[in-house]
Amino acid sequence: MSTAQQTPARPTNGLSAPPGPELIPAEDLQRRIAELGREITADYAGRRPLLVGVLKGAFMFMSDLIRQIDLPVELDFMATSSYGDSTKTSGVVRILKDLDADLADRDVLLVEDIVDSGLTLAYLRDLLLARGPASLQVCALLVRQGSRPSAADLRYVGFEIPEEFVIGYGLDLAERYRNLPCICVYDESAAGGAPNSGG
């Protein structure tokens, strides 16, 4: 697991001044994802894992990750919500889209964009384990410092990040900034105020 450190933001994807400092450059993301892909390939050799992506935030991570896994894989997706349009988790997890696949006797790898309080992860682990998979592991791109999950809950981790709200590479604020190729710390003053859901 790598620890992210802030650097000045670079102009990118039509945002002449991204709203906050760059935390993880695009090249560092791709380097770490390639490493995770190699680890998963070795650990699941001879098996066909089912990767479950948590929408919407994990879609870019999962897309890049599967291209680094040298195995036959299957994909499915869930959508959850615990943030709404806020920078703070509400503490309530809602399932917006459930899985199509049957998990019974499958080797399941849950792919998360970020583990924050650990509430969503704990809820999803319990939900998926109740469906009888042969195994269930978690791959998280980002883990916030001070989050509650134990090391046993997180088999694969990309980066540990500070306790700040981050955007980019699939992560949003009120549906904005997902298309940034890097991870940035959100600075409301640099963004000219918090966007609303209609923005």
* Average model confidence (pLDDT) across the chain: 85
Average pLDDT value for residue range 68-97? 79
Q: Which residues pair with 173 in a beta bridge?
A: 176
Better-scored residue on pLDDT, 179 or 91: 179
Whether residue 91 is predicted with pLDDT greater than 90 in this model: the reply is no
Which segments within 25-155 are labelled E, that is strand? 50-55, 74-81, 94-97, 107-115, 135-144
% of the chain beyond a pLDDT of 70: 78
Domain 2-191 top-level CATH class: alpha beta
Specify the pLDDT at position 72.
Answer: 97
Strands of 21-105, DSSP E:
22-24, 50-55, 74-81, 94-97
Percent of the chain with pLDDT over 90: 62
Question: 116 an active-site residue?
Answer: yes
Q: Which residue has the higher pLDDT, 27 or 145?
A: 27
Question: Which amino acid is present at 29?
Answer: L
pLDDT digits (tens, 9 = 90+) for 110-141: 999 999 878 888 889 999 999 999 999 999 99
- CA diameter of the chain: 51
Q: What digits encode the pLDDT tens for the residues 10-42?
A: 545 455 566 889 999 999 999 999 999 999 999
* Extents of the domains making up the chain: 2-191
- The predicted pLDDT at position 117 comes to 78
| CA dist., res. 163 & res. 159, Å (int) | 13
Is the predicted pLDDT of residue 5 greater than 70, yes or no? no
Instruction: State residue 195's pLDDT score.
Output: 43
Select which of 116, 153, 172, 187 is catalytic. 116
Grade residue 197 by pLDDT with cuts at 50, 70 and 90.
very low
Closest to 182 (Cα-Cα) out of 36, 56, 65, 20: 20
CA-CA-CA-CA torsion for 29, 32, 34, 36, nearest 10 degrees? Answer: -130
